[in-house]
Chains A and B, each alone.
Chain A
């Protein structure tokens, strides 16, 4: 009984949403070190699952049925279809990505950590600078984590020089933005959400095709070889 009251209290809702958000952030940190194509894709699945869970929890808390749909769509598209498309197109799923980092892991982690901290504080200043319409404390708090997720996604793309990690970085970025829209920009017009998901699907296919092309051309997943064009 005590547990029930605890779970229905707004502060617990905030905690859970933030915790899942931090979970997404941690999966990004793990992506920084993932060595295999497969593990990178799995991390993305976990991350997307967390995003879908946040949408579901938020939907329950606000009684917003639109968010249920977002949650289900997130799950179907990001946890099932996108990983499937990527794995199907890249039939080299045990490919080793361990050489693609441009520096040692601890340094990367610390850079990412500092970046996340910057994101947190940007979120704080954003909260103080803006009037978030009809926002509860939850939405305000989540901004910090979401901005951190977006920034760390950039770090991931910059620090890992292989196509898989870069795509994982882009999709993480997109996940961060989705989280942002779920937790802050509620009541988004439905068509917008659906269009965004459709767009994500197209992007996944195109990314897959280009990765495959890259792999065919260079026989590697690394992007270190992409230095022909300059000037």
Chain B
């Protein structure tokens, strides 16, 4: 099989899984989703290895990938596979697997209590029944597969306007997934999400069109939006490219969770079913960032470094500032992690704003490791939610006693998110800071470090409260809800430690060549 076929496979496999999930019963659904996730992961790794030294694989004019896509493919596919596995535990093995049904009832109860709507007994019962129903199950798995398929498609499509279409599909599908648990909070979050994100995407479509206008005189209409051509093109009209870049940063930045367009993010990420939250935070934000980077590549080539770097830096600092402050006052576990995502998107944008190769390599590493850590963290939050029936920080305690595996893995994930060694985020933030200093952006580095420390305080304080505190509530026993939920977390933490201590050489080559792509100096 050629590398081009792999790209097609990355899109087609999730689509097939979608069809299977829609048509067949719960067992098939689970098998199809997990297999699809693993196959996509394998294909993505193969593509990533192929492009690790630079260069581009393509399948016709429609699909193509380079080292930049490779990085994002890895994190998206990993989270796809991990979420597929986690979901089995989260939703219960299958309709036939007895005891787990009851746990799913517990989920519903948890959701209901957390949104404060559980006063009406009939409603509560209805919600519980909904969460254990086969229709919920079918929609959940079908949605997850389309969602991941669209995200992968956005990464491997080589026409920017089609990338936009794929991103829009991720928006509408994920909005439906956010609303899936059918609570008041979920419907509110879904509405805010779909409206704000769609507005952003409207602007970004305008950005795509403006870029097209800029590129047509040079590339001709059939190549004007082909990424493979765009990333090497010179001589586009300056003002037009700048406008396109700003529109893209605002538009896709809305989906990426850059402040001040982030307002939908905490709602959607906290009200969605937990596996969906993991996907939203870990990969969807990254995929949106990927598109911004594509625009940045064109802009750097035609306008120079300063303008795009400044724009990204400003949005980055704003996001980091807002997220750090809000992290201090969170009372909801998932909301806290959502703000942590805003924080990390801010760090990533700042790193991209520094713009020197080492910082960019750090950004690439940060994207991957944030995906791993945030996925793990949300999975942990999901386990806690099932165990304790709430996401309210003040009502959870003694996590390590009640959930020995999930508790300690969640602790590790939070340590990673706080950029403590030996985890990969320590390495990546170190690289970003290093890059900032070497770029002479001392003030920027100071701001970054101060805000990251504030965020660290908020995140770690709250997590310590729920995990390390004595078990006041004495929830039933030391028992994990499901082994399916522990495995993906374990994989995530192992990955974080591996990337932190001794990242594979191939991976670092991939990171370096992606960073080179972004500096606009790669000649090919």
Contact = CB atoms under 8 A, between A and B. Distances in A.
- Is there direct touching of A and B in the complex, by C-beta distance under 8 Å? yes
A189 B330 contact: no
A131 B239 CA distance: 9
Interface residues of B, number: 53
Centre residue among B190, B205, B335 by max chain A CB count within 10 A: B205
B184 A206 contact: no
Given A199-B168, A229-B185, A189 B240 contact: no
B270 interface: yes
B326 A231 contact: yes
Given A192-B161, A223-B191, A170 B205 contact: no
Contacts of B270: 229
B176 A150 contact: no
A154 interface: yes
B213 A150 contact: no
A174 B202 CA distance: 6
A132 B213 contact: yes
Contacts of A185: 209, 212-213, 216
Interface stretch (A12-20, A35-43, A84-92, A208-216): A208-216
Contacts of A121: none
A210 B179 contact: yes
Nearest to B242: A129
Interface in A167-198: 167, 170, 173-174, 176-177, 180-181, 184-189, 191-192, 195-196, 198
A180 B172 CA distance: 23
B473 interface: no
Given A177-B206, A192-B159, A163 B191 contact: yes
A174 B206 CA distance: 9
A129 B243 contact: yes
A203 B198 contact: yes
B165 A196 contact: yes
Given A229-B188, A231-B329, A206 B243 contact: no
A11 interface: no
A180 B206 contact: yes
Contacts of B169: 199, 202
A206 to B, nearest CB: 4
B203 interface: yes
A137 to B, nearest CB: 15
Contacts of B243: 126, 129-130
B183 to A, nearest CB: 8
A170 B175 CA distance: 15
Contacts of B271: 229
Nearest to B271: A229
Centre residue among B206, B217, B330 by max chain A CB count within 10 A: B206
Contacts of B116: 228
Interface string A215-231: 00110000100101101
B213 A210 contact: no
A166 interface: yes
Centre residue among A167, A170, A189 by max chain B CB count within 10 A: A189
A10 B27 CA distance: 64
B194 interface: yes
B305 interface: no
B198 A170 contact: yes
User: How big is chain A's contact interface, by range?
Assistant: 35 or more
A202 B169 CA distance: 8
Given A163-B191, A228-B184, A206 B222 contact: no
A189 B334 CA distance: 42
Contacts of A202: 168-169, 172
Contacts of A130: 213-214, 237, 239-240, 243
Contacts of B195: 157, 166-167, 170
Contact of A150 (B175, B206, B212, B329): B206
Contact of B179 (A133, A167, A213, A228): A213
A207 interface: yes
Contacts of B266: 229, 231
B222 A189 contact: yes
Interface in A108-154: 126, 129-134, 150, 153-154
Contacts of B159: 189, 191-192
A203 B329 contact: no
Contact of B194 (A181, A207, A223): A207
Interface string B243-280: 10000000000000000000000110011000000000
Interface in B162-197: 162, 165, 168-169, 172-173, 175-176, 179, 182, 184-185, 187-192, 194-195
A217 B183 CA distance: 8
A150 to B, nearest CB: 6
Given A195-B165, A206-B175, A210-B179, A229 B267 contact: yes
B190 A131 contact: no
Contacts of B190: 210, 213
A133 B188 CA distance: 44
Nearest to B270: A229
Nearest to A130: B240
B408 interface: no
A184 to B, nearest CB: 6
Centre residue among B189, B202, B243, B326 by max chain A CB count within 10 A: B202
Contacts of A213: 179, 182, 187, 190
A176 B237 CA distance: 23
10 contacts: A130-B240, A173-B199, A174-B205, A191-B162, A203-B198, A210-B176, A210-B191, A217-B187, A228-B184, A231-B335
4 nearest A-B pairs in the assembled complex, by CB-CB distance:
A129-B239, A133-B217, A130-B240, A206-B172
Interface of B: 115-116, 159, 161-162, 165, 168-169, 172-173, 175-176, 179, 182, 184-185, 187-192, 194-195, 198-199, 202-203, 205-206, 209, 212-214, 216-217, 221-222, 225, 237-240, 243, 266-267, 270-271, 326, 329-331, 335
